[in-house]
Amino acid sequence: MEFIDHKRVRIEDVEITLGQPTELNIHWVGQEEVIKQLLAAWMTIDDKDLPFNPRVLGKPGVGKTTLAYTAARRLKKSVYMFQATMDTRPEDLIITPVVMPGGTISYAASSLVTAMIKGEACILDEGNRMSEKSWASLAPLLDDRRYVESVVAGIKIPAQKGFRIAVTMNDDASTYEIPEYIHSRLQPQIMIDFPEKDEEKMILRENLPFLDDEILEYVVVFLQRAHENDEMYTVRDGINIARYAAKLIKSEELSVSQALRDAVSMTLGEEVLQYL
């Protein structure tokens, strides 16, 4: 492997254009234990030891991506994110051919492969939306072989020693079953649950520092009541409700309580007003 510059690399005489890292203005608030679990999974304790490939599980909106991003930044790693979908193909995960002017072919590395080549961190987001065919292309990366093969470019790409990967998975129905041989490669399993009231308010305050405390308190009480009744609503929903309520207050001069009722109803539906 030979770096041509910071944007290009040559592997087996094939020149590949690398992707760009993701820069997010986010960090994890509360539940410090799950950060420690993820960092421990990525740790190596001997030259012959390998990092784990943890999967981070939880309901949509509980902060799985934020957790993985924060852990990677604590290790001072650049973060490359790949958003998995039901349409993700093996070549999307590895190398994509691009037809250039004049009919020549250029090869572009995915964010995952870029992280492998640079020895940085990759977050494979919502991994259980991918089909088995796509997962099969990652099998040698997720065991002690630590490489992928590109059929398109005809090359084998090894992961550098510093490479780390975390796979987030939503706890909902619109997903594929992960093949067992992949499950055994995605260890350990790190579960994120709903935060406690104080932590939930800290998260809202972190994301909405410009809102009055009264609005945030209303939203926290709503979320906690929803959690107690096994509803799927998360901090992400709370942030949307609080932001919209604040806009309604400013534009229509509504009271806080009326703005919250309208925001909840218009964001999640009238049936959840009972939790206010």
Statement: residue 174 has pLDDT above 70:
no
- Bridge partners, 14 (sequence order): 11
Q: What is the mean pLDDT of residues 99-126?
A: 92
**Exposure pattern of 61-87 as b/e (b: 16+ CB <10 Å)?**
bbbbbbbbbbbbbeeebbbbbbebeee
**Beta-sheet pairing, 147-150 with 14-17:** unpaired
pLDDT for residue 173 is more than 70: no
If asked whether residues 48 and 111 sit together in one domain, one would say yes
pLDDT value, residue 103: 76
Confidence band, pLDDT 50/70/90 cuts, at residue 5: confident
> What's the rounded Cα separation, in Å, for the pair 220 and 214?
10
Same domain, 107 and 179: yes
Average pLDDT estimate for 164-171 = 93
Q: How high is the pLDDT of residue 52?
A: 98
Please indicate, yes or no, whether residues 136 and 32 belong to a single structural domain of this protein.
yes
Domain co-membership, 167 together with 216: no
| Alpha-carbon gap, residue 223 to 229, rounded angstroms | 10
168 and 134 together in one domain: yes
Same-domain status, 151 and 20? yes
CB of 256 within 8 A of CB of 214?
yes
CATH code of the domain in which 14 resides: 3.40.50.300
167 and 254 housed in the same domain: no
Residue 93: pLDDT band with limits 50, 70, 90: very high
pLDDT > 90? residue 64: yes
Residues 154 and 239 in one domain: no
Q: Are residues 124 and 239 in the same domain?
A: no
Question: Of 114, 117, 116, 121, whose CA–CA distance to 165 is shortest?
Answer: 121
What are the pLDDT digits (tens) for 118-160?
A: 999 999 999 999 999 999 999 999 999 999 999 999 999 999 9
Pair 116, 133 in one domain = yes
Q: What is the pLDDT of residue 268?
A: 93
| CB atoms closer than 10 angstroms to residue 172 | 12
Q: For residues 214 and 162, state if they share a domain.
A: no
The number of domains in the chain is 2
User: Where is the domain boundary, 166, 191, 216?
Assistant: 191
Domain membership of residue 233 as a residue range: 197-275
When the pLDDT of each residue in the chain is averaged and rounded to a whole number, the result is 92
Percent residues over pLDDT 70 in the chain: 99
111/223 same-domain check: no
* Radius of gyration over every alpha carbon of the chain, rounded to an integer in angstroms: 22
What pTM was estimated for this model as a whole? Answer: 0.88
pLDDT at 185 over 80: yes
Q: How would residue 253 be classed by pLDDT, with cut points 50, 70 and 90?
A: confident
Which among 132, 163, 191 is the end of a domain?
191
Is residue 231 predicted with pLDDT exceeding 80?
Answer: yes
Per-residue confidence band for 104, with pLDDT thresholds at 50, 70 and 90: confident
End residue of a domain, out of 170, 191, 212 = 191
- 89 pLDDT more than 80: yes
